[in-house]
């Protein structure tokens, strides 16, 4: 799953570069889903895209790279992790690593190309790596809620 996420994301970005860059926005399902090319020099919702280039490299390449390496090592070697948590952590790491690869090979920018919304209420433009990160985060949150409820049930009122 880890490698497949990275390969699928990178292939989809190559497709977006070749097919969508410089072209019109493609609208589907009554404009619920859009395909449009964008490059993001920042993080989530372009946060940090106006930072000086050296700061962006320090944060988004060096620091994020170190965190991703630590997350992968933790997700792989921590014996006490349950399988569900391990999958979620590695989904986050795979998405993060694929976006990190973009930053390294595309002058600090990440290729984005998907957008969802109704009318003026829209998501930011995202990619498959972002979906993996969100999936992992939601999975951890939901799993954590379930574990918290189990622990509360064991201790009683």
Of the candidates 145, 143, 136, the one whose C-alpha atom is nearest the C-alpha of residue 98 is: 136
Please state, in angstroms and rounded to a whole number, the distance separating the CA atoms of residues 22 and 128.
Answer: 20
Task: Provide the residue range defining the domain that includes 27.
Answer: 2-155
> What pLDDT does 19 receive?
97
> What pLDDT does 150 receive?
67
Question: Which residues on neighbouring strands pair with residue 81, listed in sequence order?
Answer: none
pLDDT in tens, 13-53: 999 999 999 999 999 999 999 999 999 999 988 889 999 99
Query: Is the backbone of residue 45 left (phi > 0), alpha (psi -120 to 50) or beta?
Result: left
> What pLDDT does 44 receive?
85
Q: How far is CA 3 from CA 50, 91, 93, 95, 112, in A?
A: 31, 10, 10, 10, 19
**What is the total count of domains within the chain?**
1
Largest CA-CA distance found in the chain, in angstroms, rounded: 61
């Amino acid at each position: 799953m880890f490698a497949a996420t990275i390969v699928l994301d990178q292939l989809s970005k190559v497709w977006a570069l070749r097919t969508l860059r410089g072209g019109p926005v493609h609208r589907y399902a009554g404009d619920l889903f859009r395909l449009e090319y964008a490059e993001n020099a920042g993080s989530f919702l372009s946060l940090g895209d106006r930072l000086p280039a050296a700061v962006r490299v320090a944060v988004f390449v060096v620091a994020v790279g170190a965190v991703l390496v630590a997350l992968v090592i933790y997700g792989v070697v921590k014996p006490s992790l349950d399988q569900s948590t391990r999958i979620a952590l590695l989904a986050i790491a795979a998405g993060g690593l694929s976006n990190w690869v973009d930053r390294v090979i595309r002058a600090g920018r990440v290729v984005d190309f998907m957008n969802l919304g109704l009318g003026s209420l829209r998501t930011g433009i995202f990619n498959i790596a972002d979906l993996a990160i969100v999936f992992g985060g939601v999975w951890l949150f939901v799993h954590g809620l379930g574990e918290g409820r189990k622990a509360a049930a064991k201790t009683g009122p």
